[in-house]
Structure formats: structure tokens, C-alpha cells
Amino acid sequence: MTTLPFHRCRNPNMYLPPVDLSFKKINSLEDPSNSVRLLRRNSHMKYQSRSLRLCHNNITDLHDLHKPVSHFLAKPSQLAWLDLSFNKISHIDRVLCELRELRVLYLHANSIFILPEVDRLGALPLLHTITLHGNVIETNKAYRWDRKILDRLLMEQSPLTVLELGAHCGYSSVRIARVELIVDPSDEVIPKLRSEYGLERLDFVFMDHWKKCYTPDLQMLEGSGLLGKGSLIVADNVLFPGAPKFLRHIRKSGLYEWKVHRATLEYSKGIRDGMAELVYQGIN
């Protein structure tokens, strides 16, 4: 199986090196640990970074989160990447919902146990990655609902060759099978799957990367000759955050028998989402 986690659509300048406040116990607003990468500051000696690491601090309450954020960051309202892992946080404080530019939030290895509280994070319009493993919440039956759909489809199809587009922690990859990891833009790798990697056919493709990349990547696969009649493509989060161009393409192309499995967004019961199942029929 081939996993392609990166694509050109990604903005490489989104995240500068993080301000590292890990292992500080946050009992004083002292300067962060020395970093192997020099952090840029403005004229007020505040950091230009949009990333903040607060892991391993024994944090139990996020009520005063604004203090380190505003003290160290030049533009606290622009915080995009926040690591709160390995603390003792048990509740999702509404203060997180004030970070409107937040894209990545690490909350793994805490003490979060109420799944509906995670729904509050649905108010963050740009949030695309959240980690919750290592919390009591993992025992909730609604946790990672979409993987149950994935397991069932894999059992029904028994694919031999699989392409996965998008991998954060590799959870889907581990569930699917043996992995060959290729860390390159998918638009560079897909054209070489036949010539350089020796693939003749893709039985199963799982797409869970940047939603705006779904359509160009699918079109590239259609032109590659690697999709055969019966090839199964599964695309996650097609309703939220959504992939309308992707759904419009598969509807107009006439190349697929398809349907959308409706459920709620992983970790957030109140947000409706869906996983698209496409069975390639070939060109008539």
C-alpha cells in the first residue's frame, strides 16, 4: 500500500517553528527553552510564530490560556498550531473556541472523558486536525465512527493493492495493511506509480487529505490507467468540511456507482458529515 500524506496545495509557510513552553509547569512567564531553530521576534521581543507548544505542563484548566498566548506571541489571535498534549485537562474549555485561526490542536494523553464537549470545537472554522487518543474518551462508542465503515468496506472488497491519500497519525494505514510510505507531493507520485513503483491496478483508494485536492487527484488517477472496473475509492469528510467540487465531478463523470454514508464528524456528534463510496465502472 502507498500512503501519500503531502500535496502541493499545502501551504509550506503556514507554521513557523513553535514557541516551546513544554515541561515548564507554567508557573512563570519566562522565556522558552533554547531551540535548535532560531525563533524570530518583533520589535517588542514577541515571537512571530503561529505555533505554541504547552505539552507536559500538568495543566488541568485552560481558563488562563490567553496569558501565555498573549505574552509570547506577537499575534495571539493568529495562533494556528497548539500542542496541549500530556497534561491533565479533563474538559474542553470555551476559551479554545476563541482561537479562530486554529488549524491543528493536540489534546492526546489528557483526561478528557465527555464526548459532547468536543462538539464545541466545531465553532473553529479552520480546524482540520485534532488528536484525542490516550484520553478516557476513547471508550466512547461514537469515537472514530468512520473507521467502522472503513473496516466493513475493506472486508467486503478484500483489496490487494491500496492507495491512501492523506495520513496524520497513520491510524487508517495501520488498519488497512502493510505500508510503503512515500513522503512526496501526491501530484508528483501518482504519475509514477506504474513506471517507478510497478503498480498495475489499484483495488482500493482511501482519500483523507486536503479536501481541495480530492478532485485533481481523482482525475489524475482516472488518467493513470490504474483504476479498473470495480476499483473502490473511499473519500472521508465530503460533507464537512466538505468537498463539493469532488462530489460534482463524480456525479457528472458517469464513471462511478457511488453513494455517501452519512454520519457525524469524528469526535463531534453534533456536526453532520459523510464518507463517499465510489465504485469505478470504467469508460463506456
Domains of the chain from N-terminus onward:
11-139 (3.80.10), 144-280 (3.40.50.150)
Our answer to whether residue 141 is catalytic in this structure is no
Q: Which of 208, 217, 222, 273 is catalytic?
A: 208
| Predicted TM-score (pTM) of this structure | 0.49
The tens digit of pLDDT for each residue in 123-167 reads 888 887 788 888 888 777 666 555 566 666 766 776 667 777 776
**Residue 79 CB partners (closer than 8 Å, separation 6+):** 50, 51, 52, 69, 73, 99, 101, 102
Please check the confidence at residue 23 and state whether its pLDDT lies above 50: yes
- How many residues does the structure list for the chain? 284
pLDDT at residue 240, as a whole number: 84
Exposed e or buried b for every residue in 30-49, given b needs 16+ CB within 10 A?
A: eebeeeeeebeeeeeebbeb
For strand 104-106 and strand 129-131, is the pairing parallel, antiparallel, or unpaired? parallel
Mean pLDDT over the full length of the chain: 80
Position 102, amino acid: L
Assigned C-alpha cell, 1: 500500500
Confidence category of residue 235, pLDDT binned at 50, 70, 90: very high
**Is there a catalytic annotation at residue 245?**
no
Q: Which residues contact 9 (CB under 8 A, 6 or more apart)?
A: 210, 212, 213
Statement: residue 119 has pLDDT above 90: no
Instruction: Reply yes or no on whether 164 is catalytic.
Output: no
Is the predicted pLDDT of residue 260 greater than 60, yes or no?
yes
pLDDT at 222: 96
Tell me the average pLDDT across 56-72: 90
Q: What is the mean pLDDT of residues 73-102?
A: 92
Among residues 211, 217, 222, 273, which one is catalytic? Answer: 211
Q: Does the pLDDT of residue 88 top 60, yes or no? A: yes
Q: Please tell me which residue in 146, 164, 222, 266 is annotated as part of the active site.
A: 266
- Beta-carbon contacts of 251 under 8 Å, excluding residues fewer than 6 positions away, are none
Model confidence at 269, in pLDDT bands (50, 70, 90)?
Answer: low
Would residue 24 show up in a list of annotated catalytic residues for this protein? no
Statement: residue 9 has pLDDT above 50: no
Amino acid 133: pLDDT? 83
How buried is residue 235: exposed, middle or buried, by Cβ count under 10 Å (0-12/13-18/19+)? buried
Active site residue 252: no
**Active-site choice (57, 110, 140, 237):** 237
pLDDT at 98: 93
Among 217, 222, 236, 273, which one carries the catalytic annotation? 236
**Which whole number is the average pLDDT over 24-48?**
63
Range with lowest mean pLDDT among 96-100, 214-218, 238-242, 276-280: 238-242
* 20 pLDDT above the threshold of 90: no
Q: What is the pLDDT of residue 167?
A: 62
d(CA 146, CA 206): 12
Q: How confident is the model at residue 177 (pLDDT cuts 50, 70, 90)?
A: low
154: Cβ–Cβ under 8 A, 6 or more apart, which residues? 175, 176, 204
